[in-house]
Every structure is written in C-alpha cells, then in structure tokens.
C-alpha cells in the first residue's frame, strides 16, 4: 500500500477521538499540541482526559459510540479496545468522507499516524505503511540521536529571516548554498552553544555581506571520549564525531570510539610523539589552529573528561587567545566509569561522605598533595596515576594515619573488554599490583567503599556467576 504523506493543519478543527483510555489520552495530548478541537466519546475517561474536559480544552460525549459524534469532524481516531465499535467508527467515517485512524489496524484506517521526531517547528515523520511499526520506531530512535535540539530554534530563526534571505539571494542555487553555510557554519555553531542572540547577529552580518564569509572559520569541539566503552559517549560527542572533518585524539581514546567518527574524517593520533609533553602540547595547539583556520570542524578528542587531568583548560585558553570558536562536551571521567564498572559506589551513607579526585603521576605531583587530608577516614580517593607511584602512595597514606587494612580496588582498563579489578588492602597495594603486573591505564579507588567491589561487581569475568547471584538472593 502506497501512502501519501501529509502534515495536517488542525488548528480550531474538530477531531473525534472514540475511547477514553491510555491510548486515547496519548492521541489527545498530541492533537492538543496541534491546536485541534477535540471531542472525546466514551463511557469513562482517564484522569488526565478529565482534566482537559474540566479546563474546557476537550468536549466529552458520554456513553457508547453514536454515529452523530462524527458530524462536522475533520478527522476521527478509534481508540477503544472493542473491535466492533472501532469497525463502526471506521465505517461511519468512510461514509462521511472523514479520514479515520483505527489504532493498530492498518486495514480499517484511512490515515496512519507516523512516528515523529519533534524539533518543532521542524518535524520528521516516519511511516512503514503499516507493515512494520517496530522498524519505524527503531529508525526514529536513531534519528533522535542524530538530530540535535537546536534544530527547532534554527528553524524559527530561518522562518523569521526567510523573506530577507530570499531578497538578498534571489537565485535558488546561491540561496541553497547560503543556507547550507548558515547551518554548518557560525549560525548553527552559536545555537549549539546556546547563544541565540549571537547566532541572529551572525545571520544578519552574513546577510549584509551577501555571502557567508564568517562561516569559513571552523571551530574546535573539545570532546570527552569517556573511558573506552563507546556506549558511554554522550549524544553531543556522537554528533560531533559524526560531523568532524579532523579528529585529534589521545592515546587513551579507544578504537571503538574512533570508529564512530565520520568515515572521511582525518584522524590524527596526537598522543604519540618523541620529545615529551611540551612538544606534544605545542603540536596539538598548532594542529587545532591550522585546521580550524582552514574552515574545518575539528574534534579534539580526549580520554575521559577533558577538564579532569586532561589539559583541556590550557587548550581552551589557547583557542580563546587565537579567536577560534570552541565548544566543550564533557565525558565520563575514569573515576566514575571505573567505580561503576567495578561495583564501587564512590559515596555511601555508611562508608564515605566525600570523594576526591587526585592525580599522582610523578614524584613532583606527589609532593604537592596534602597527605594528611588524604589519609582521613570515611572518604574515598580516586587516584589517577602512573602505576609506578603505587609504592609511594601506599607508604605516604600509611605514614599519615590511614590504616593498612583500608580496602582498595585497582581498576585496569576500566569499562573495556579487558578490564581487570584487583582488590586488597592498603598494606599490600604495591606488592599485589606488582604480582598481578598491573599496567596503565589504571585507576586506584581507595576507601571503605572499595570493600563492596567483590559483592557488587557485574562487568567482566571477575563478576560473580549468575548461580552465585541466584543463591545469594
Ligand atoms: N581526562 C581523563 C584522565 C586523564 S589522566 C579522564 O577524565 O578520565 C590519565 C589517567 O586516567 C590514567 O593514568 C588512569 O589513571 C586514568 N584512566 C583513564 N582511562 C582509564 C581507564 N579506562 N581505566 C582505568 N583508568 C583510566
């Protein structure tokens, strides 16, 4: 069956909904959004529908279906659980040339209600012609992820300037290019940064210049890639990867995450380079500048969260100083991911009232820490570290009063297929890590809460077997 897609203007027009249950309630809510005048016919209605009736938004015909309910309706929806009643509504509607939708009955229906992605005034509607509603729903879920929520405001903005843009760009092909540049360039980027006034300003100056010169400046999106499991990316991160021209990524970013980037994006691993940290950092700065100035969309992809022990601050300051537009997308930092994936709640009413994120990468960073404060009880330490510093961490914490019996969980390759969790007590930290040959990246969670790891583990081979879980229950 080939259907003709259409969007109906129902403002002020009568729509009949037969049935007063949960399905009818959902249909009514959507119809009210479109400004329809609703007549609901049913012997009983839900509380929410009754609320609409009381507020005067919906007219209620009480009782069993009568053919006269359909009079002067533009559309009808049969949403009762009585097949005979639904069929009668369909037949009466046909006779009166009123389009009718019978819920879950493609044969009796003369119109279908599509699955929608709502970025009003922009709306995407999906239909499978009644053959596979589940498939339409699955497509909808995918599109929901791709279409960001600034499309609505963008459509409003274009609506307001439509005539002026048409006047400034009378030729269709040129006008189309102009719009494309507005969407992909500064105007779209400013809206994504929640700066609608600046976006409108950028549109105005593009109009004044008659071309979109401003759009030629690219932007840099500083994106947190999370700890490795690609499922831990945010939607913003996924969208940035999907539209990137150039990706500058660290060594810590997993291949599975990089896989999600646009196929023809240029990927540059900026983690590997001789010459130490300073040389790496200045090369990253130079690359960001070069590609953004060439008008490209640059994604600077960093492991975990860019603002947690990631030099994100320095990179943003650099971009600011060079007037390169930027956005920042947070990521799930290693401490949160390792805690969740090893079954350690970082705080717990009985065991820890606070948590500290600490870095202990080298001797110099160890010396700047306040060990007395770190050694206090009933708090959790999440230590981002070089594996080589475990001995120093162990001895300094014990020197400053933390008990050798304090539990820890050392999480290697957190959230990745090869995750390992090594549990023990502070007094044996360094020796145990050595015996297990723990390698980077690894995160140390230390504190009373770490004792919960063996019991709450769920991820990877070290998690208890289902039989054990079942017998514990
Ligand atoms: N910005 C990152 C941290 C960078 S510092 C974030 O927010 O997570 C690098 C340290 O992070 C590593 O030495 C290690 O301690 C920790 N780390 C990062 N990813 C990890 C992972 N998947 N598993 C365990 N630790 C990880």
Q: Using H for helix, E for strand and C for coil, what is the string for the chain?
A: CCCCCCCCCCCCCEEEEECCCHHHHHHHHHHHHCCCEEEEEECCCCHHHHHHHHCCCEEEEECCCCHHHHCCCCEEEECCCCHHHHHHHHHHHHHCCCEEEECCCCCCCCCCCCEEEEECCEEEEECCCCCCHHHHHHHHHHHHHHCCCCHHHHHHHHHHHHHHHHHHCCCHHHHHHHHHHHHHCHHHHHHHCCCHHHHHHHHHHHHHHCCCHHHHCCEEEEEECECCCHHHCCHHHHHHHHHCCEEEECCCCCHHHHCCCCCCCEEEECCCCCCHHHHHHHHHHHHHHHHHHCCCEEEEEECECCCCCCCHHHHHHHHHHCCCCEEEECCCCHHHHHHHHHCCCCCECCCECCEEEEEECCHHHHHCCCHHHHCCCCCEEEEEECHHHHHHHHHHHHHCCCCCCCEEEEEECCCCCCCEEEEEEHHHHHHHHHHCCCCCCEEEEECHHHHHHHHHCCCCCCCCCHHHHHHHC
Mutate-to-test residue for ligand 1 from 330, 443, 445, 446, highest number of ligand atoms within 8 A of CB: 443
Question: What pLDDT sits at residue 15?
Answer: 98
| Residues labelled as active-site residues | 250, 272
pLDDT band, very low/low/confident/very high, at 303 (cuts 50, 70, 90): very high
Mean pLDDT of 57-72: 96
Pocket of ligand 1 (CB under 6 A): 227-228, 252, 302-305, 308-310, 333-334, 338, 384-385, 411, 413-416, 440-443
pLDDT in tens, 28-47: 999 999 999 999 999 999 99
Mutate-to-test residue for ligand 1 from 341, 441, 446, highest number of ligand atoms within 8 A of CB: 441
Instruction: Classify strands 420-425 and 407-412 as parallel, antiparallel or unpaired.
Output: antiparallel
pLDDT at 210 over 70: no
pLDDT in tens, 15-28: 999 999 999 999 99
Question: What pLDDT sits at residue 272?
Answer: 67
Provide the edge-to-edge strand list for the sheet that holds 380-385: 355-360, 380-385, 442-446, 407-412, 420-425
Mean pLDDT of 229-233: 96
User: Nearest residue CA, atom 10 of ligand 1?
Assistant: 384
Q: How far is the CA of 253 from the centre of ligand 1 (A)?
A: 10
From the alpha carbon of 335, which atom of ligand 1 is closest? 8
- Distance separating alpha carbons of residues 369 and 358, to the nearest angstrom: 8
Q: 57-61, 181-185, 274-278: which has the minimum mean pLDDT?
A: 274-278
Q: How far is the CA of 91 from the centre of ligand 1 (A)?
A: 65
pLDDT at 216 over 70: no
Q: How far is the CA of 416 from the centre of ligand 1 (A)?
A: 12
Mean pLDDT of 188-207: 92
Residue 202 backbone phi and psi in degrees, to 5: -65, -40
Angle CA 261–235–255, to nearest 5: 35
Q: How far is the CA of 334 from the centre of ligand 1 (A)?
A: 5
Contact residues for 246 (Cβ-Cβ < 8 A; gap 6+): 265, 266, 268, 287, 291, 296, 297, 298, 299
User: Nearest residue CA, atom 12 of ligand 1?
Assistant: 441
Mutate-to-test residue for ligand 1 from 302, 304, 339, 438, highest number of ligand atoms within 8 A of CB: 304
Question: What pLDDT sits at residue 185?
Answer: 84
pLDDT in tens, 251-267: 889 999 999 998 889 99
Half-sphere exposure (CA, 13 Å, Cβ side) for 162?
Answer: 6
Mean pLDDT score of the chain, rounded to an integer? 92
Q: Report which of residues 471 and 254 the model is more confident about.
A: 254
The total of other beta-carbon atoms located within 10 Å of residue 373's CB is 10
From the alpha carbon of 361, which atom of ligand 1 is closest? 13
pLDDT band, very low/low/confident/very high, at 473 (cuts 50, 70, 90): very low
User: Nearest residue CA, atom 11 of ligand 1?
Assistant: 384
Question: What pLDDT sits at residue 145?
Answer: 87
Question: What pLDDT sits at residue 461?
Answer: 77
Question: What pLDDT sits at residue 25?
Answer: 97
Q: How far is the CA of 138 from the centre of ligand 1 (A)?
A: 34
Mean pLDDT of 236-260: 93
Q: How far is the CA of 304 from the centre of ligand 1 (A)?
A: 6
Contact residues for 210 (Cβ-Cβ < 8 A; gap 6+): 168, 169
pLDDT at 472 over 70: no
Q: How far apart are the first and last CA of the chain?
A: 52
Question: What pLDDT sits at residue 214?
Answer: 47
pLDDT band, very low/low/confident/very high, at 468 (cuts 50, 70, 90): low
pLDDT band, very low/low/confident/very high, at 341 (cuts 50, 70, 90): very high
Mutate-to-test residue for ligand 1 from 255, 257, 277, 303, highest number of ligand atoms within 8 A of CB: 303
User: Nearest residue CA, atom 24 of ligand 1?
Assistant: 442
Question: What pLDDT sits at residue 123?
Answer: 95
From the alpha carbon of 312, which atom of ligand 1 is closest? 1
Q: How far is the CA of 237 from the centre of ligand 1 (A)?
A: 18
Mean pLDDT of 367-374: 93
pLDDT at 363 over 70: yes
Q: 12-16, 188-192, 324-328: which has the minimum mean pLDDT?
A: 188-192
Q: 125-129, 159-163, 183-187, 338-342: which has the minimum mean pLDDT?
A: 183-187
Going from the C-alpha of 70 to that of each of 40, 73, 369, the distances in angstroms are 10, 6, 76
Question: What pLDDT sits at residue 217?
Answer: 65
Percentage above 90 pLDDT, the chain: 80
């Amino acid at each position: 069956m080939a259907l003709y897609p259409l969007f109906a203007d129902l403002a002020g027009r009568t729509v009949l909904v037969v049935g007063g249950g949960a399905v009818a309630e959902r249909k009514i809510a959507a119809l009210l959004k479109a400004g329809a005048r609703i007549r609901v016919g049913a012997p009983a209605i839900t509380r929410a529908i009754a609320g609409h009736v009381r507020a005067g938004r919906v007219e209620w015909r009480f009782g069993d279906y009568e053919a006269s309910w359909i009079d002067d309706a533009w559309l009808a929806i049969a949403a009762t659980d009585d097949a005979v009643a639904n069929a009668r509504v369909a037949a009466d509607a046909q006779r009166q040339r009123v389009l009718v939708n019978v819920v879950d009955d493609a044969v009796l229906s003369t119109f279908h209600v599509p699955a929608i992605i709502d970025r009003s005034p922009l709306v995407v509607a999906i239909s499978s012609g009644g053959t596979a509603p589940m498939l339409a729903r699955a497509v909808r879920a995918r599109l929901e992820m791709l279409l960001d929520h600034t499309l609505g405001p963008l459509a409003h903005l274009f609506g307001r300037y439509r005539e002026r843009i048409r006047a400034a760009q009378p030729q269709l092909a040129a006008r189309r290019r102009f719009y494309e540049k507005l969407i992909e360039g500064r105007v779209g980027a400013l809206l994504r940064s929640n700066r609608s006034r600046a976006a409108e300003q950028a549109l105005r100056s593009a109009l004044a210049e008659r071309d979109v010169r401003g759009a030629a400046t690219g932007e840099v999106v500083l994106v947190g890639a999370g700890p490795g499991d690609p499922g831990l990316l945010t939607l913003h991160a996924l969208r940035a990867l999907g539209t990137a021209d150039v990706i500058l990524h660290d060594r810590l970013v997993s291949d599975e995450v990089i896989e999600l980037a646009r196929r023809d994006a240029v990927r540059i691993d900026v983690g590997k380079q001789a010459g130490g940290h300073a040389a790496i950092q200045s090369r990253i700065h130079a690359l960001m500048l070069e590609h953004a100035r060439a008008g490209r969309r640059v994604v600077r992809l960093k492991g975990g969260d860019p603002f947690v022990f990631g030099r994100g601050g320095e990179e943003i300051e650099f971009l600011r100083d060079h007037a390169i537009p930027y956005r920042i997308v947070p990521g799930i930092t290693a401490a949160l991911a390792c805690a969740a994936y090893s079954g350690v709640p970082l705080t717990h009413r009985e065991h820890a009232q606070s948590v500290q994120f600490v870095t202990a990468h080298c001797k110099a960073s160890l010396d700047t820490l306040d060990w007395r404060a770190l050694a206090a009880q009933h708090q959790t330490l999440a230590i981002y570290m070089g594996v080589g510093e475990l001995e120093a961490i162990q001895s300094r914490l014990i020197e400053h009063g933390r008990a050798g019996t304090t539990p820890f969980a050392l999480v290697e390759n957190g959230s990745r297929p090869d995750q390992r969790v090594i549990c023990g007590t502070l007094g044996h930290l360094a020796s145990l890590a050595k015996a297990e040959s723990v390698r980077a990246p690894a995160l140390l969670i230390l504190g009373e809460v770490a004792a919960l790891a063996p019991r709450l583990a769920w991820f990877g081979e070290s998690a208890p077997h289902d039989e054990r879980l079942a017998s514990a229950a």
